[in-house]
Amino acid sequence: MGTANFVLFGVCAFFALAGAVTTVAAQRPLRAAVALLVNIISLAGLYLTLSAHLLAAIQLLVYAGAVVVLFIFVIMLIGPAAEVKGKGEGLPGRTLAIAIMTMVTGTIAFSLVDAAGNWLALRSNPDFGTVEALGAELYSRALVPFEIVSITLLVAIVGAVAIARHRTEGEITEAKAVHAKAVEVREEAKAEAEAAAKATA
């Protein structure tokens, strides 16, 4: 593996990180979705340097072609409300979360950089990562999990439809009633708590 590989890795890794940071940091969801797309395409490139050709293709097809498009659909569907204006609440919690995750990630990443060996000296399997070899293994050793995944997808489809479909009139009334009841109960509880606080005071 030569310089080309190294360059490819460098470029892909940079865009992957940049895309990830942008995804997380973007205020507008559409921008985040595009950054996610960049991240996903970069990862596909990284898969190529790892001899995972089929996986790179699938990454593009499924993630870039389906998942990100789905995200964009939803963002479009929701419209301007898809953007949540930050109110700056929960700042201590956010700071704590960032601190913890940075510490954990940093420790792991810096531990890992030198930890494991270099595979370039290893013998390489010429079939490794090819569509034939991966397909053969997928349909022999991993056949049962593969079939189970297909069922998972089916369930997901049904679930998505069930959740997202339009409600009938009756269902809407019922849902609204439930919602109203929940709000009412909460108000009551709040009123009670206030009354109790007043009483103790």
Partner 1 sequence: MEITLGTFLALGAILFGIGAIGFLVRRNVLIQLMSIELMLNAVNVVLVAVNRYHPDNHAGQIFAFFVIAVAAAEAAVGLAIVIGLFRLKKSVSAADANLMKH
Partner 2 sequence: MNIEQALPWIIGLPLAGAIMNGLAGRFANRRLVAFVAVGSVLGSFGIACNAFYDLMVMKADGTGEVISTTLWEWFSIHIPGLTGFREIPVNISLVFDSLSGLMVLVITGIGSLIHIYSLGYMSEEKSYARFFTYLNLFTASMLILVLGSSFPVLFVGWEGVGLCSYLLIGFWYENTAYAEAGKKAFIANRIGDFGVIIGMFILVGAAGSFEFSAINAAAPGMATPLNFGGLAIGSIATVGGLFLFLGCTGKSAQIPLFVWLPDAMAGPTPVSALIHAATMVTAGVYLCCRLSPVFMQSAVLLSTIAIIGACTAFLAATVAVVQNEMKKILAYSTVSQLGFMFAAVGVGAMTAGFFHVFTHAFFKACLFLGAGSVMHAVHAHGDADIRKLGGLKKWMPITRWTFLLACLAIAGVPPFSGFFSKDEILLGAAEVAMHETMIPSAVGWFVFVVLFLAATMTAFYMFRLYFLTFTGDYRSAKKKAAASDEEDEEDEEHDEEEAHDEHDDHGYSPHPHESEWPMALPLVVLGAGSVVVGFLGLPHLLGEEWVWWGHWLEPSITNLQMAGEDHIPAYVAMAAGTIAMLIGVVGAAVAYRDKNEDKTTGKIPKPIREFFFDKWRVDELYEATILRGSRALGVLAGWLDKTFVDTMLTGATAKGVQLLGWASTRIQVGRVHAYGLAIAIGLGVMSWYVLYPHAEVAFEVDDQNATYVATRGLGYEYRWDVDSDGTYDVPAQPVRVRIDIKDDASPQELFQVVNVVRAALASDGLRPADRTALGHPVGLRSEKVYELAPPPALLENLLAGLERLEILDGVEVLPDPHGEVFDETVTVQHAYDEDSYVGYALLIGQLRGEPRELRATESGTQFDVADLGQRWRASEEDATPPAFKQVEGGVEIRPNGAMVRVGNEVRSEPFVLGPGESANVGSSPVRVVPVARVTVQVRNAFGNVDTHSEEVTLMNSGGRVRVAQNAGGAR
Residues from 85 through 104 that contact partner 2 (CB under 8 A): 90, 93-94, 96-97, 100-101, 103-104
Per CB under 8 A, 124 contacts partner 1: yes
Burial of 43 (0-12, 13-18, 19+ CB in 10 A): buried
In terms of C-beta density within 10 A (0-12 exposed, 13-18 middle, 19 or more buried), how is residue 170 classed? exposed
For 25-88, the DSSP string reads H-SSHHHHHHHHHHHHHHHHHHHHHTT-HHHHHHIIIIIIIIIHHHHHHHHHHHGGGGSPPP--
In this structure, what token pair is assigned to residue 190?
A: 């709040």
- Choice between 112 and 164, CB closer to partner 2: 112
102 binds, among partner 2, partner 1, none (CB under 5 to 8 A by kind): partner 1
Residue placing its CB nearer to partner 2 in the complex, 118 or 140 = 118
- Note the Cα 100 to chain centre separation in Å: 20
Q: Among 81, 84, 115, 151, which residue sits at the site for partner 2 (rule: CB under 8 A)? A: 115
- Minimum gap (Å) between residue 23 Cβ and partner 1: 5
By CB under 8 A, tell whether 120 contacts partner 2.
Answer: no
Q: From CA 11, how far away is CA 116, in angstroms rounded?
A: 23
Is 60 an interacting residue with respect to partner 1 (CB under 8 A)?
no
Q: Does 63 bind partner 1 (CB under 8 A)?
A: yes
CA 19 – CA 11 distance, rounded (Å): 12
Identified binder of partner 1 from the candidate list 76, 179, 190, 193, rule CB under 8 A: 179
User: Judged by CB under 8 A, which stretch of 45-53, 120-128, 141-149, 164-172 contacts partner 2?
Assistant: 120-128
One-letter identity of residue 176: K
Which residue in 86, 114, 165, 200 binds partner 2 (CB under 8 A)? 114
Rounded to a whole number of angstroms, the minimum distance from the CB of residue 90 to partner 1 is 8
